[in-house]
Chain A
Amino acid sequence: MKLNRKVKISSDIPTASMPDIIFMLLIFFMVTTVLREYSGLDVELPKAKRIQKLKSKRHTAHIWVSKQGQISIEDKLVRSSNVRHIMYTKRAADPQLTVSIKADKAARMGLISDIHTELRKADALMLNYSSKTAID
């Protein structure tokens, strides 16, 4: 008995649509990428457990507070009394603004409290104390 030989099927992976797939991935990453805008100050963030993610990077303004008591916004060192003006303009431009405070864990509360007062005056009320995840 003669068996019908099957016709050889080429076993290559089709690569014709590969550029399309890559382009799709590329567009995804292009859209989601937010380039790091500011380098900020060197801080050691405090640790906390009940932490939330910030909603969106686009609606976030950062304030860095170093151990030595320096305050940095947009890579410029500012005095605590100037925080109000900067944040007021930012808040006016973006009503959904969340202020993320990246303060060193050894920073003093007196300064943080001053920033609170300034932010309240600037009507920027949504706040986030940036912190790392604590592990037991």
Chain B
Amino acid sequence: MARRRFKGGEIPTSSMADIAFLLLIFFLVTTTIDMDKGLGIILPAEGEELEIKKTNILNCLINSQGNVLLGGKPIAIKDVNREVRRRLAKNDKLIISVKAHEKTKYGDYVAVIDQLKRANATRISIADSE
């Protein structure tokens, strides 16, 4: 019986690059680079209620039509930034209390929060809507 000659047991590696390319393309396509972005906010812990002096509170009310009342005066949303900036310069302990009506659109609320963030207001309080 003739012995078969051993022909070398190598795994063919010539197509490895192609396989790797294929996998690479798959992961390139499925990767979602666009990270979620948004307005960050930290809620107060439950039962954490503080008494704050009235002079340090600036009330910001939003009604169901998206009209804003800042410190008792009606104001356009795009002017909130400037007004809050002005008031913060006077009193840096100022806390802005945002109160929205139950039927207020979320978009208007986000617009106001954005304006406050742009005025570098760090103390923002979110009151329960009524």
The chain A residues found within 8 Å of chain B, CB to CB, are 18-19, 22-23, 25-26, 29-30, 32-36, 46-54, 57, 60, 65, 98, 100-101, 103-110, 112-113, 116-117, 119-121, 123, 125-134
Contacts and interface: CB of A to CB of B under 8 A. Distances in A.
Nearest to A133: B37
Contact of B36 (A30, A60, A110): A60
B116 to A, nearest CB: 9
Interface residues on B, range: 35 or more
A123 B31 contact: no
B107 A106 contact: yes
Interface stretch (B42-50, B68-76, B87-95): B42-50
B97 interface: no
B69 to A, nearest CB: 15
B interface secondary structure, majority: mixed
Interface of B: 13, 16-17, 20-21, 23-24, 27-28, 30-32, 35-46, 62, 100-107, 109-111, 113-114, 117-118, 126, 128-129
Contacts of B28: 29
Given A48-B39, A100-B36, A109 B103 contact: yes
Contact of A57 (B23, B35, B110, B114): B35
Nearest to B105: A106
B20 A22 contact: yes
